[in-house]
Amino acid sequence: MENFQRDELSAIGESLRNVRRQRGLTLRDVERESQGLWKAVVVGSYERGDRALTLKRASGLAAFYHVPLDQLLGLHHAPGEKTERLIFNLREIRRIGSELPESLLRYFQEICRLRSDWNGEVLSLRQGDLIAISVILDCDESAIYSWACQRNILVLHQ
């Protein structure tokens, strides 16, 4: 059991390191840019798998890196894979609304109205919804994940 946990921590640590490097940051950069909230030695220990990462800390680190939590933890699908469900941050969508196609905003609003999804904080989209969004955005379904990540509106995809 202990080896399993060590392997899991190591895999999560590798994902943390990959996300940090994709953001172009060193451990010192993380500490400096977070104004000391994220100590280099602590983040390094998470990345090496020497220290367990709580859900609260993982969520905070994902927010700092501007990536969905599942991506930070290495739980996301490859961009080319079909996704079963995407969960969007409606608060962020409202904040950047003018940058998004009007037809997409109307589509999100209608789904929220029909489903009363999480009191308007997040919106879960199913495979059928993704087909409609791909038509609205004039892109392949597999590109929706990347599109949403670039705009920091994706919370999770399963």
pLDDT in tens, 11-69: 788 889 988 888 889 999 999 999 999 999 999 999 998 888 888 898 889 889 888 77
Q: How far apart are CA 123 and CA 111, in angstroms?
A: 8
This prediction has a pTM of: 0.49
Which of the listed residues 67, 99, 123 is the one where a domain comes to its end?
A: 67
pLDDT band at 92 (very low <50, low <70, confident <90, very high): confident
pLDDT for residue 119: 56
HSE (CB half, 13 Å, CA atoms) of 6? 3
* Residue 131 in domain: yes
90 and 62 within one domain: no
> What range does the domain containing 22 cover?
2-67
Residues 61, 17, single domain; the answer is yes
76, part of any domain: no
pLDDT for position 1: 36
Q: Which of 104, 97, 100 is nearest to 134 (CA)?
A: 104
pLDDT band per the 50, 70, 90 thresholds, residue 71: confident
Is residue 146 domain-resident?
yes
Say how far apart CA 147 and CA 153 lie, in whole Å.
9
Mean pLDDT of the chain: 80
Kindly report the backbone phi and psi dihedral angles of residue 140, in degrees, each rounded to the nearest multiple of 5, phi listed first.
Answer: -70, 150
Characterize 34-69 residue by residue with b for buried, 16 or more Cβ atoms within 10 angstroms of its Cβ, and e for exposed. Answer: beeebebebbbebbebebebeeeebebbbebbebbb
Distance CA 60, CA 44 (A): 16
Look at residue 58 and tell me if it is in a domain: yes
Query: In this structure, are residues 65 and 19 in contact, taking their beta carbons and an 8 Å threshold?
Result: yes
Same domain, 146 and 90: yes
62 shares a domain with 91:
no
Q: Is the pLDDT of residue 6 over 70?
A: no
What total of structural domains would you count in the chain?
Answer: 2
Ramachandran class of 85: left when φ > 0, alpha when ψ lies in -120 to 50, beta otherwise: beta
